[in-house]
């Protein structure tokens, strides 16, 4: 029976999507558990990069995942402490200490909320597909490269454990998909390691797990303009890097799940999550691409429940089951991440037949994106450089699409030039050279019905054409302008140089 409020409003309360069926619920719960296990060594590693205690990174992983599960715009995406954010804020921690780092995390959250409200998410439409493919491939390479140290200079049992883990994750889904193969692999390898007494690196070797829940509080810094000057540059850099990585990850999950996400809500949600994380003493973070791939692609999660449980299970595992979790061999988690790397890489993009069909510029943009990301260890820098490269190539390509063709009247008293293509700063530079100023008759008509004026450079080019004809005592008439072009030409014609 519905409540009076529900009945009066005519609204029906819908069940959460994770309650759609027992199968969906089970998938979400197990996916959250797998992600929580994989988050522990990652969060500890990023804490080391930032120069803080491992508990700081684990607290951030917990609070980011829990909060973003409610306020984020992309279902099933995992947010936690990340390497990109750790690299940005590490210098601040080294120079001024943990309190200033926490204050910067809170301010970064404020910046992200402001940027989200201003519509920064709409800039994602300017990221070309070739950049996205490069982003995905670079991500896969970085995930794999992050595992290399765990396979270098280690006891020999590590290698058969990794191979065995990969084999189990490949074969177990052929038996059943009820339980995620990574979870089965982690449990079996842990049992083998403990039962056989194998001396191999474990999660516990990465750092001490927290023994209590985080407590809220304000950053212990002076609330002065001097403090703001210190933390603002780091906070803004963290906000931009975090949003870039989060929005790119959201777009990737959109493609994998064939669903749409609210990028503006995700931007604002990232800010809220970082503010909460800062107040709980965490190091801040953003979307975690590797863990998201475990959740979405490997485990098959699709709802917010898996994201929430990843954070909740993380704290339970650390506090209640710390000794057990500490015994998990790193080889088990390395195998999971290697599988994620292989599954993430877009192998189709590097097939010979694909490369032969793809325009050279598109391939170049993809390669540059990958190269920059891998060389800088920064996904955001790679995306920006790749996008700029794509825009330069596009501008160069369309710059030659503005064509001019002239038709002389039979009586020889008038010539009509038809301009086709797009007029903007790149194409308009060549426009001036395509007219016969000396030999044309006194009456010149330029028909722009087949083009569009996009910027002031094009208006300046038309002014230059009129000026050159005037120097030869000839009159120019411009016709065929569409309404936006006519408006821009009317406002700017004759006003762009000091000589008019």
Dump pLDDT digits (tens) for 328-347: 899 998 898 888 888 878 89
Rounded mean pLDDT, 445-450: 93
Q: How confident is the model at residue 498 (pLDDT cuts 50, 70, 90)?
A: low
Find the Cα–Cα–Cα–Cα dihedral 289, 293, 295, 297, rounded to 10°: 160
Other Cβ atoms less than 10 A from the Cβ of 405: the count is 12
pLDDT tens digit sequence for 202-215: 988 887 888 888 88
Q: 3-class DSSP state for residue 358?
A: coil
In tens, the pLDDT along 164-204 reads 999 999 998 888 877 888 888 999 999 999 999 999 999 88
Residue 295 and residue 76: Cα distance in Å, rounded?
7
**pLDDT at site 399:** 66
Q: Are strands 79-80 and 286-287 parallel, antiparallel or unpaired?
A: antiparallel
In the chain, the N- to C-terminal Cα span, in Å, equals: 78
Residue in 29, 51, 43 with CA at minimum distance from that of residue 290: 43
DSSP state for residue 475 in the 8-state scheme? E
Give the per-residue pLDDT at 373.
86
User: Tokens 């407590």, residue?
Assistant: 215
Distance CA 252, CA 245 (A): 11
Q: What percent of the chain has pLDDT over 70?
A: 96
Position 30 confidence tier, pLDDT thresholds 50, 70, 90: very high
* Neighbouring C-beta atoms of residue 225, cutoff 10 Å: 8
């Amino acid at each position: 029976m519905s409540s009076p409020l529900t009945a009066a409003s005519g609204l029906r309360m819908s069940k959460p999507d994770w309650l759609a069926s027992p199968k969906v619920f089970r998938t979400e719960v197990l996916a959250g558990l797998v992600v929580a296990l994989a988050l522990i060594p990652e969060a500890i590693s990023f804490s080391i990069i930032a120069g803080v205690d491992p508990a700081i990174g684990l607290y951030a992983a917990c609070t980011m995942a829990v909060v973003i599960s409610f306020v984020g715009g992309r279902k099933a995406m995992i947010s936690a402490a990340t390497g990109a954010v750790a690299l940005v804020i590490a210098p601040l921690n080294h120079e001024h200490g943990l309190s200033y780092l926490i204050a910067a995390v809170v301010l970064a959250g404020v910046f992200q909320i402001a940027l989200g409200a201003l519509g920064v998410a709409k800039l994602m439409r300017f990221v070309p597909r070739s950049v996205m493919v490069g982003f995905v491939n670079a991500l896969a390479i970085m995930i794999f490269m992050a595992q290399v140290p765990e396979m270098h200079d280690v006891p020999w049992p590590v290698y058969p454990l990794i191979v065995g883990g990969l084999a189990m994750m490949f074969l177990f889904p052929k038996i059943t998909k009820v339980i995620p193969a990574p979870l089965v692999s982690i449990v079996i390898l842990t049992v083998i390691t403990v039962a056989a007494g194998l001396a191999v690196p474990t999660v516990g070797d990465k750092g001490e797990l927290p023994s209590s829940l985080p407590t809220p509080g304000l950053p212990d810094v002076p609330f002065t303009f001097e403090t703001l000057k210190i933390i603002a540059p780091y906070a803004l850099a963290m906000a931009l890097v975090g949003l870039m990585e989060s929005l790119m990850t959201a777009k990737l999950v959109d493609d994998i799940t064939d669903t749409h996400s609210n990028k503006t809500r995700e931007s604002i949600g990232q800010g809220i999550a970082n503010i909460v994380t800062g107040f709980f003493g965490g190091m801040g973070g953003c979307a975690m691409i590797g863990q998201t791939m475990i959740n979405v692609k490997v485990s098959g999660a699709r709802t917010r429940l898996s994201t929430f449980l990843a954070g909740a299970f993380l704290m339970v595992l650390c506090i209640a089951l710390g000794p057990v979790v500490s015994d998990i061999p790193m080889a088990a988690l390395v195998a999971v991440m290697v599988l994620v790397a292989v599954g993430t890489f877009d192998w189709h993009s590097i097939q010979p037949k694909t490369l032969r069909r793809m325009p050279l510029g598109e391939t170049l943009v993809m390669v540059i994106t990958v190269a920059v990301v891998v060389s800088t260890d920064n996904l955001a820098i790679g995306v920006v450089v790749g996008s700029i490269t794509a825009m330069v190539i596009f501008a160069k390509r369309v710059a030659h699409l503005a064509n001019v063709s002239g038709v002389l009247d039979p009586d020889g008293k008038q010539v009509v030039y038809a301009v086709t293509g797009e007029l903007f700063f790149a194409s308009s530079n060549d426009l001036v050279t395509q007219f016969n100023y000396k030999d044309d008759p006194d009456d010149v008509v330029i028909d722009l019905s087949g083009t569009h004026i996009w910027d002031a450079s094009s208006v300046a080019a038309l002014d230059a054409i009129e000026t050159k004809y005037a120097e030869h005592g000839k009159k120019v008439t411009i016709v065929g302008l569409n309404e936006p072009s006519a408006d821009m030409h009317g406002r700017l014609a004759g006003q762009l140089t000091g000589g008019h």
